[in-house]
A and B are shown apart, each in its own frame.
Chain A
Amino acid sequence: MTCTLGEVKQRADFIVYWGGNPAECHPRHFTKYTIMQKSKFLPRGRKDRTMVLVDIRETKSAKAADIFMQVKPGKDFELITILRALIKHQHVGDDQIAETGVTREMLDDLVQRMKSCKFGCFFFGMGLSMTRGKHMNSAALLTLAAEMNAFTKFVAMPMRGHGNVTGADVIMRWQTGYPFGITFNRGYPRYNPGEFSTVDVLVRGDCDAAFIIGADPGATMPQPAIDHLKRIPTICLDPHITHTSKLARVHITTAAQGISAPGTAYRMDELPLPLKPALKSPYPTDEDVVRRINKAISEKPFWLPEGSQPQMITAQV
C-alpha cells in the first residue's frame, strides 16, 4: 500500500493530494518527487501525469491541479467510503453524494481515471489525518488504495510534518514492534493508542514526569496536556528556547540535529538519509545527553527489587 517517493517520481501517472497543501507546506514535493518530474516511463513529465486535489478550500495547490474537488468540511471519511463503494459498482444515491459537496459526474470521472491509470498514488495531509475521524480517515484512504490494487497499481502515503517523526516511528517499531503509544511499565512493550499515546497520557494526567526530545508539545498540545506538563517535573532537550523549554523544570541545550549533530533522518517514505553536520556546536548532541543520563541511571539500584519480575499480561487466562 505504500512505496518510495522515487517510485512516484518514476511511474505515478495519477496523483491525488488529499487534505494537504503541498504548494505551500511541502513546496519541493511537486518539483522533486511528483508532478513536475520527467522519467523514463513518463517522458513528458507534467503532461503525462494527472493531479487531483481534494480539500475543503481552494488553496494555492489547486492551481497546480488538473482536477480540484472541494469536499465539505468533515466529509472526507464519507467521500472516501463512497469511492470504496463506487469502485465496486455499488449504487450510492445522488442525495448522499451531494452531502459531501461533490457531484456524481465528478466521482464517476474520478473513479474512471483511478481505474484506468497505470500507477496511482494518494498523498494525504493533516487536513485528513487531524480532522474529525483522525486515524479512521487515514485508514479509509489506505483501504481505498489497497482495494484499488484489484484494478491497477495504487499506493497511499502520509505527508508527515517536519522533524524526524518518521525516524522515531521506524525505530520504535524495530525495537518494540509498535510505532507509538507504547508503555514499558511491565518491563516489555505494550501498545494501545488512546491509552498510552503521549497526548492522552498528558491530558488524563497519567504520568508523573516527562522527558521531551525534539518536540514542542507546549506549543501544539491541548491545554490540559500543557497544564499537566507544568505540574510535573518536565525535562526538555532542545537547541532552542521553545514553549516547552519555558515550562520545563530542566532545559538542556543540545546541538541541532543535522546542522551540528550527525545522525540519520527518515524521509516520509521511510528512506533513511544521513545527516552530515556542517557546523560544530559547543553543546552536546541529544544522543550524548541521553547516553550520559542512561549511564547515571545504570549506576543506581535496578528498578526492580532483586529476584522479582513483572508479570506479562497474557492475551488469555
Chain B
Amino acid sequence: MLRITGGKIYDPANGIDGHVRDICINDRGKIVDSVDGGRTINASGMIIFPGGVDVHTHVAGGAMNFARAMTPEDHRRTQAFIRTQSRRSGLGGMAPTTFATGYLYAGMGFTTVNEAAVPVLSARHTHEELADIPIVDKATLTLMANNEIMLDQMEAGEYERAKNVVAWYIWAAKSYGVKAVNPGGVAAWKWGSDAKQMTDSIDGYNSLTPGKIVTMLATICDDLGLPHPMHLHCNNLGAPGNISTTLDTLKHLEGHRAHIAHSQYHAYGGDDWDTMCSATAQLAEYFNTHPNITTDAGAVLFGDTVTITADGPWQHLLYKLTGRKWGNLDVENETGCGIVPYTYRPSNLVNAVQWASGLELMLLIKNPWQVFLSTDHPNGGCFWRYPEIIQLLMCADFRNECIAKLPDKIKGRITLPEIDREYTLYEVATSMSAGPARALGLTQKGNLGVGCDADIVIYEEEDDVARMFSHPRYVIKAGEVVIEDGEIRETPEGREFLVKPSYAPETDEFMRPRFEDCYTMSFENYPVEIERIENPNMQECINANED
C-alpha cells in the first residue's frame, strides 16, 4: 500500500492538468480511492506523470541480438551496470543487454514498452529475451505484411482465409498485434530488389500490390478487433521524395484505424539526396484532418547508433552510403532484417533534415493524442535519450540554438525555424504516456484513474528539462517503488500483454501443409506455448466495426 501526497498531477487520460491531488495504491498494484496505512511519499513540489509507454521500440529478438554482437566497441565505452545484490549486470549503449534495457527504461520513468517487430519464426526467442527484461510490461507485434502464406491468400482473393491466417499467427506467436513492414517490399528484397510505390507489382505475384496489402491487412486488424490497430511501417523508408508514397499509403487506409510507425522517415520531399527536404507539413496536415490515425515520431538525435529494421532495402542503402559493416538477417518466409552502425551528424545535410523532420512532426501535428515520442530505438537514437527530445519540444530557445548549428544550406529545406510551439507538461504526458497507451488499447496504462495500474513517475521540478526527465525522483511500477533517488531499489518481473483473436477451427489444418512447405520447422514445434510466457496478461479483443 502506498499513498502519494501533495504532487502536481498530469493525467491527460482524465483531463487533469497540474492539479494537486493524492494518489492511493492498493496491495495489488492498482490505483484506488483510499488506503489505510502503508508508506506515504510526500511529493510536495513534485510533478507526477503516468509511467511512460513506448509505442514503438526494438529491444529484443534475433535482429537486436545480432546488433549486440556487431557492436562490441560500443559496449566497451558505454555505461555498465555493475552487479549488486538487487541488480544483475549488463551494458547500456546502442543495443543494451536485456537486464540493462529494463533498468534504463525504468530509470527514465517508462513502465510499458512495445517491441514492434517480431518475425513469426523467432517469436519464441523474442519471448525468452523479454522474460529477461525486468520491471517494464511488454507487448509484441508480429511481422505480417510479407508473410507468403498470407500474401498467397490475398492474391487469390480469399479474404476470410487471410484473416484466419493472421489471427492464427498472432496467437501462435503469442503477440499483441500486427506490424506491417514495407508491404510487398521486403519479400522482393529477398531477391535483391524493392517495391517502392503502392501500385508496383510484387515479384512472384500477379495482381497483388503494396496498396492492396495495406488495405486488406488494416481491414483484417479492424475485423479481428485487435486492441492496437495495424502498425504500419510504410514503403520507401528514408528515401527523398517518399512523402508521395506515404500519402498514397494513407489514402489506402481511409476508413480504417491505423498507427503509422516512425513517420519522420517517411516525410521527405526532393528528388534525390542533394535536394532532399522536409515534407512534414503535408504529412502533419493529413494527421490533423484524420483523427483515427496515430503515429510516432521516429525522431533522430545526432550521435552514434545502430540501425536495425526489418526493412532490408533501406539498410543496404545505408551500407552503400556509409561503407560500414553491414549485417543482414533474413528470416524465412517473413521478412528481412538489416543492421548497420551509423552516426547522425549535424554537418550532414540529410541527417540535419531528418533531425528537424522528427521534431516538426511532433510540433505540427496539433493533437498530442495522435503523435508520440519515439526514436524507433535504436534507429534514430537510443531510447534512453528521450529526455533530450522532450527538451527540444518544450524549449523553443534551446531548439533555435540547435538549429543555428546546422549547415547554412539547411535554409528552405525545413520548417522547424518557423515553429514556435512549445510543449506543455500536459502535452508531454500525453505524448509519452496517455496517448501511446490509448493507441495500444491498453486502458489500464497511461492513466492515473481509479482501477488503473499504479505505474507512476515522480519528478523533482527543475528548469533543466532534459535532466528532470532523465532523473525521476521516484518510479513506481505496479505499486512498487522501483527507482528512488536515482537508485534501482526493486527489479520485479514485468508482464506480457497478449490477445487471442478468434479464427476458424480448421485454420490449423489449413496452415499445416503450407507451413511445412514454407518453413524448415515442424508445424507442432512452431506455436509458442502459453507456459513459455512469463506472466502473460490476456487482453480482450474489441469489436471496432460496431463502434
Q: Which residues of A contact B (CB under 8 A)?
A: 1-7, 9-11, 32-33, 39-41, 118-119, 146, 149-150, 152-153, 155, 170-171, 173-179, 184, 186-191, 264, 266, 270-274, 302, 309-310, 312, 314-316
Choice from A1, A3, A312 contacting B80 with Cβ under 8 Å: A312
Q: Which residues of B contact A270 (CB under 8 A)?
A: 62, 65, 122, 125
Give bound CA distance, A32 to B518, whole Å. 12
CB proximity of B35 to chain A, nearest CB, Å: 33
Report whether A4 and B326 are in contact in the complex, using a CB–CB cutoff of 8 Å: no
Give bound CA distance, A237 to B197, whole Å. 57
Q: Which residues of B contact A175 (CB under 8 A)?
A: 88, 90, 97-99, 132
Residue of B nearest to A187 (CB): B82
Give bound CA distance, A2 to B93, whole Å. 24
Choice from A155, A178, A187 contacting B83 with Cβ under 8 Å: A187
Interface assignment of B344: CB less than 8 Å from any CB of chain A: no
Q: Which residues of A contact B75 (CB under 8 A)?
A: 177-178, 189, 191
Report whether A309 and B82 are in contact in the complex, using a CB–CB cutoff of 8 Å: yes
Interface assignment of B421: CB less than 8 Å from any CB of chain A: no
Interface assignment of B68: CB less than 8 Å from any CB of chain A: yes
A-B contact pairs, 17 of them (CB 8 A): A6-B521, A7-B331, A146-B325, A155-B330, A173-B65, A174-B64, A174-B98, A174-B132, A177-B93, A178-B69, A188-B82, A264-B124, A270-B62, A271-B121, A271-B521, A314-B77, A315-B77
Q: Which of B69, B80, B319, B520 has the most CB of A within 10 A?
A: B520
CB proximity of B87 to chain A, nearest CB, Å: 10
Q: Which residues of B contact A119 (CB under 8 A)?
A: 190-191
Report whether B65 and A187 are in contact in the complex, using a CB–CB cutoff of 8 Å: no
Report whether B520 and A5 are in contact in the complex, using a CB–CB cutoff of 8 Å: yes
Give bound CA distance, A174 to B58, whole Å. 13
Choice from B68, B124, B520 contacting A4 with Cβ under 8 Å: B520
CB proximity of A106 to chain B, nearest CB, Å: 25
Report whether B190 and A2 are in contact in the complex, using a CB–CB cutoff of 8 Å: no
Interface assignment of B525: CB less than 8 Å from any CB of chain A: yes
Residue of A nearest to B93 (CB): A177
Additional A-B contact list (6), CB under 8 Å, known A189-B89, A315-B77 = A173-B69, A174-B68, A177-B95, A272-B128, A273-B521, A274-B532
CB proximity of A139 to chain B, nearest CB, Å: 11
Q: Which residues of A contact B148 (CB under 8 A)?
A: 40
Choice from A155, A176, A272 contacting B90 with Cβ under 8 Å: A176
Q: Which residues of B contact A184 (CB under 8 A)?
A: 83, 89
Choice from B62, B316, B320, B330 contacting A7 with Cβ under 8 Å: B330
CB proximity of B212 to chain A, nearest CB, Å: 20
Q: Which residues of B contact A40 (CB under 8 A)?
A: 148, 204, 517
Report whether A149 and B316 are in contact in the complex, using a CB–CB cutoff of 8 Å: yes
- Beta-carbon contacts of B78-102 to A below 8 Å, as 1s and 0s? 0011111100111101011111000
Choice from A177, A186, A266, A315 contacting B82 with Cβ under 8 Å: A186
> Which of B31-78 touch A at CB < 8 Å?
60, 62, 64-66, 68-69, 71-72, 75-77
Q: Which residues of B contact A152 (CB under 8 A)?
A: 192
Give bound CA distance, A155 to B329, whole Å. 9
Interface assignment of B443: CB less than 8 Å from any CB of chain A: no
Q: Which residues of A contact B69 (CB under 8 A)?
A: 173, 178-179
CB proximity of A51 to chain B, nearest CB, Å: 18
A315 touching B76 in the complex, CB below 8 Å, given contacts A174-B65, A175-B97:
yes
Give bound CA distance, A178 to B68, whole Å. 7
Report whether A2 and B125 are in contact in the complex, using a CB–CB cutoff of 8 Å: no
Give bound CA distance, A189 to B122, whole Å. 26
CB proximity of B251 to chain A, nearest CB, Å: 32
Q: Which of A10, A33, A187, A271 has the most CB of B within 10 A?
A: A271
Interface assignment of B22: CB less than 8 Å from any CB of chain A: no
| 8 closest cross-chain pairs (CB), A and B | A6-B332, A3-B330, A187-B82, A188-B80, A315-B77, A272-B124, A6-B520, A4-B332
CB proximity of B276 to chain A, nearest CB, Å: 23
> Which of B413-453 touch A at CB < 8 Å?
none
Give bound CA distance, A314 to B85, whole Å. 23
CB proximity of A194 to chain B, nearest CB, Å: 13
Q: Which residues of B contact A (CB under 8 A)?
A: 60, 62, 64-66, 68-69, 71-72, 75-77, 80-85, 88-91, 93, 95-99, 121-122, 124-125, 128-129, 132, 148, 190-192, 204, 316, 319-320, 325-333, 336, 517-521, 525, 529, 532
Residue of B nearest to A314 (CB): B77
Report whether B82 and A9 are in contact in the complex, using a CB–CB cutoff of 8 Å: no
Report whether A9 and B191 are in contact in the complex, using a CB–CB cutoff of 8 Å: no
CB proximity of A265 to chain B, nearest CB, Å: 10
Q: Which residues of B contact A315 (CB under 8 A)?
A: 76-77
Choice from B88, B326, B525 contacting A274 with Cβ under 8 Å: B525
Q: Which residues of A contact B77 (CB under 8 A)?
A: 314-316
Q: Which residues of A contact B132 (CB under 8 A)?
A: 174-175
Q: Which residues of A contact B121 (CB under 8 A)?
A: 4, 6, 271
Give bound CA distance, A302 to B231, whole Å. 46
Report whether A189 and B332 are in contact in the complex, using a CB–CB cutoff of 8 Å: no
A176 touching B124 in the complex, CB below 8 Å, given contacts A155-B328, A312-B82:
no
Report whether A11 and B519 are in contact in the complex, using a CB–CB cutoff of 8 Å: no
CB proximity of B125 to chain A, nearest CB, Å: 5
Give bound CA distance, A274 to B528, whole Å. 9
Give bound CA distance, A187 to B89, whole Å. 7
Give bound CA distance, A153 to B77, whole Å. 34
CB proximity of B331 to chain A, nearest CB, Å: 5
A174 touching B83 in the complex, CB below 8 Å, given contacts A6-B519, A7-B330:
no
Report whether A274 and B125 are in contact in the complex, using a CB–CB cutoff of 8 Å: no
Q: Which residues of A contact B326 (CB under 8 A)?
A: 1, 146, 149
A189 touching B90 in the complex, CB below 8 Å, given contacts A1-B327, A2-B327:
yes
Residue of B nearest to A41 (CB): B204
Q: Which residues of A contact B81 (CB under 8 A)?
A: 188
Q: Which of A171, A177, A190, A274 has the most CB of B within 10 A?
A: A177
Report whether B525 and A118 are in contact in the complex, using a CB–CB cutoff of 8 Å: no
A153 touching B90 in the complex, CB below 8 Å, given contacts A2-B329, A4-B330:
no
Q: Which residues of A contact B62 (CB under 8 A)?
A: 270
CB proximity of A157 to chain B, nearest CB, Å: 11
Choice from A264, A309, A314 contacting B128 with Cβ under 8 Å: A264
Give bound CA distance, A5 to B519, whole Å. 8
Give bound CA distance, A266 to B66, whole Å. 14
Q: Which residues of A contact B521 (CB under 8 A)?
A: 6, 271, 273
Choice from A9, A32, A39, A177 contacting B97 with Cβ under 8 Å: A177
Report whether B125 and A170 are in contact in the complex, using a CB–CB cutoff of 8 Å: yes
Give bound CA distance, A171 to B64, whole Å. 12
Q: Which residues of A contact B336 (CB under 8 A)?
A: 3
Report whether B327 and A188 are in contact in the complex, using a CB–CB cutoff of 8 Å: no
Q: Which residues of B contact A173 (CB under 8 A)?
A: 65, 68-69
CB proximity of A260 to chain B, nearest CB, Å: 18
Residue of B nearest to A303 (CB): B83
Q: Which residues of A contact B88 (CB under 8 A)?
A: 175
Residue of A nearest to B124 (CB): A272
Choice from B76, B97, B518 contacting A6 with Cβ under 8 Å: B518
CB proximity of A8 to chain B, nearest CB, Å: 8
Give bound CA distance, A50 to B329, whole Å. 22
Give bound CA distance, A149 to B75, whole Å. 28
Give bound CA distance, A10 to B532, whole Å. 29
Q: Which residues of A contact B125 (CB under 8 A)?
A: 170, 266, 270-272
Q: Which residues of A contact B66 (CB under 8 A)?
A: 2
Q: Which residues of A contact B319 (CB under 8 A)?
A: 149
Give bound CA distance, A292 to B65, whole Å. 29
Report whether A271 and B122 are in contact in the complex, using a CB–CB cutoff of 8 Å: yes
Give bound CA distance, A270 to B519, whole Å. 14
A191 touching B520 in the complex, CB below 8 Å, given contacts A41-B204, A176-B90:
no
Give bound CA distance, A153 to B336, whole Å. 12
